[in-house]
Structure 1
Amino acid sequence: MQSFDALNRYAIPEHVFFRFGPGGQIFADIRNSSASASVFLQGAHLTAFQPRSQYDPLIWLSEKSRFAVGKSIRGGVPVCWPWFGPHPDNSQFPAHGFARTHLWTVSDSSSSKDITRITLTLEPTNETRAQWPHETPVSLEIVVSETLEMSLTTHNAGNDTITLGEAFHTYFHVGDIHSVRLEGLDGCTYLDKTADFARKQQEGDITFNAETDRVYLNTQNDCIIHDPRMYRRIRIHKEHADSTVVWTPWAEKAAAMGDYTPDGWRQMLCVESANAAENVLQLQPGEKHTLMVRYSAEPL
């Protein structure tokens, strides 16, 4: 773990601050003239983002999130890496990989009046090497301005081809899940996890009236959340991501999870930019890959 003195090398007056949060965990807070954000150093997990032009945040975080050592938190932008979903060979390994529950190291920061950057890297440990015996330096650059950009870069520094799954498992803040619709996936093939991974085809925009858990394949499209309650559209732009995952747990599943308030599930929708399922990557020796997303709000 970086000491607080080491972290403060990357503090920038009026723009980047480090603090102890719940459970003694360390956060980076970012402020500039365009927006504010917070990043939980465990998992390089962005927990808040709000442009100053918006009355409400773009990113949703459960009021019952647990900030415990080695545990994932509910909401924000979990980084799923180096696999998505269950491990393909070992069910004892954590779902969605280990990146979201291990401490990352701050390695760079910079800021102007209206745009701030922070970069974090994930250092391997004996525990992670037991699950992932590959030399794959990985870094996450977060750029906070009127938009939020996140770039996850993996370098295959070893001698063997690796299979890589990854995602930004982003929870977007919505007025009410019953009233939103998601544009951008019309005509796409998807795997329906609520129907034993049945292969289906999307017709029109997506609306929500029950648990939804789908992996849309072979799509590079922008997605747009239309939210009449908040009078806005959230645009989700991605690059070098061939899958989009759409998820809402609905009431019964959210209640069983234990880290939602009774109505918390109504105010969130996950739209995840990913390389998952049939779109996992084959990364050649020496190759680098960057998954990038940009989130922005537009008036409805």
Structure 2
Amino acid sequence: MHNLDSLNRFAIPGQLAFRAHPTGLIFAEIDNADGQASVCLQGAHLTSFRPKAQPEPVVWVSEVARYLPGKSIRGGVPVCWPWFGAHPSESQFPAHGFARTVPWAVTDSGASNGVTHLTLQLQTSEATRAQWPHDTPVTLHIQVSDVLEMALTTQNASGLTLPLSEALHTYFQVGDIAEVELHGLDGCAFLDKTDNFARKHQTGALRFGGETDRVYVDTTAECVIHDPLLQRKLRIAKQGSASTVVWTPWEQKAAAMGDFTAQGWRNMLCVESANAADNALSLAPGAMQTLRVRYSAEAL
């Protein structure tokens, strides 16, 4: 596992530095001419991103998020891997896999043409191998400028065909969830988790008036959050992803979670680029899978 001294060789003066949180977690801090971002090395979990042309962050994190070893962080971009949702057969295994709560190692960093990049690789252990006994190196490549780009790559180095479901579970900052619209899913089928996974179809833009938890399947479309209060559009483009998950807990569920402020849920919307449900993957021996996202902000 990294310590701060061992990370110095990846630092970039004026653009990339590393710091230790009081709880012991280590963060990479990116700050260049066009953007700022923070990445927790536990979980390769991006916890903030703001283009410098934007007064508000693009990525939301709870004001009362807990930064604790072995625990997930409320907000940012959790990496859901190698399964999404509940494990298909082992109920004691963590929801959304183990990748978001285990150490990742920095393997590369650099800067060019105004972009700062960082690459991390998941570190296996006896505990992870007990849940996933397969040789599947997985990396997350992050690029920060006035846009945020992330690429989650899984390589199947085993001799078996393996099931894989995954997501970049991104929390976006919004002015008020009740005022935004999400465009890009018109006509798509979705599974409604709030209605026993009933299969339904989306008509028009998506608006929010209560808890929403949906897996939109068979869609590679770009999504756009229209936010009249913050006077901006957040554009969510993806590749290597055939599902889009949309989630807001609303007031009652957020209150039960314990890591939201009383009104914090109003300022977030999860739009997750995924391969889940109908779009879960089978990864052949030697195959490589990359899920790419690109997040940008522009004026309404």
Same fold (TM over 0.5): yes
- Residue 243 of structure 1: aligned partner: 243
Deviation string for 1:230-278 (max 9, x for gaps)? 0000000000100000000000000000000000000000000000011
Residue by residue, what CA displacement relative to the aligned partner does 1:75-119 show, whole Å, maximum 9, x if unpaired? 000000000000001000000000000010000000136210000
CA distance in 2 between counterparts of 1:219 and 1:295 reads 17
Q: Residue type matched to 2:126 in 1? A: N
Partner of residue 127, structure 2: 127
Task: Name the counterpart of 1:171.
Answer: 171
**Cα contact 2:24–2:69 (8 A) shared by 1:** no
Equivalent residues of 1:33, 1:113 under 8 A apart: no
Partners of 2:22 and 2:115 in 1: how far apart? 27
SS in structure 2 at match of 1:190: strand
Is 1:71 the equivalent of 2:68?
Answer: no
| Rounded Cα–Cα distance in structure 1 between residues aligned with 2:125 and 2:207 | 42
Residue of structure 2 equivalent to 1:106? 106
Matches of 1:258 and 1:131 in 2, distance apart? Answer: 27
- RMSD of Structure 2 on Structure 1 (CA): 0.7
Distance 2:33 2:271 in 1: 27
1:17-48 alpha-carbon deviations (Å, 9 max, x no partner):
00011412110000110100000110000000
Structure 1 position 91 matched with structure 2 position 91? yes
CA distance in 2, matches of 1:75, 1:37: 13
Work out the CA distance in 1 between the residues paired with 2:22 and 2:104.
Answer: 17
Counterpart for residue 267 of structure 2 = 267
- The CA distance in 2 between the partners of 1:89 and 1:77, in whole Å, is 26
* Map of 1:38 onto structure 2: 38
Q: Determine if contact 1:232/1:299 at 8 Å carries over to the other structure.
A: yes
SS of residue paired to 1:24: coil
| Sequence identity percentage | 61
| Aligned twin of 2:138 | 138
Give the Cα–Cα distance (whole angstroms) in 1 for the partners of residues 204 and 29 of structure 2: 39
Q: Are the counterparts in 2 of residues 32 and 113 from structure 1 also a CA contact under 8 Å?
A: no
Partner of 2:254: 254
How far, CA to CA, are the matches of 1:91 and 1:22 in structure 2?
A: 33
Distance 2:277 2:113 in 1: 41
What is aligned with 2:217? 217
Q: Contact between 2:49 and 2:57, CA under 8 Å: does it hold in 1?
A: yes
What's the TM-score, normalizing by structure 1?
A: 0.99
Structure 1: unaligned runs, 5 residues or longer: none
- Residues matched between the structures, number: 300
Q: CA deviation at 1:4?
A: 1.7
Cα distance in 2, alignment partners of residues 207 and 111 from structure 1: 39
Q: Tell me, yes or no, if structure 1 residue 61 matches structure 2 residue 61.
A: yes
Q: Secondary structure at the match of 1:251?
A: helix
SS of match in other structure, 2:13: coil
Counterpart secondary structure, 2:23: helix
CA distance in 2, matches of 1:189, 1:261: 33
Q: Which residue of 2 aligns with 1:289?
A: 289
Q: Secondary structure at the match of 1:117?
A: strand
- Long gaps (5+) in structure 2: none
CA distance in 1, matches of 2:153, 2:196: 32
> Partner residue of 2:202?
202
Instruction: Give 4+ residue runs of structure 1 displaced > 4 Å after superposition.
Output: none
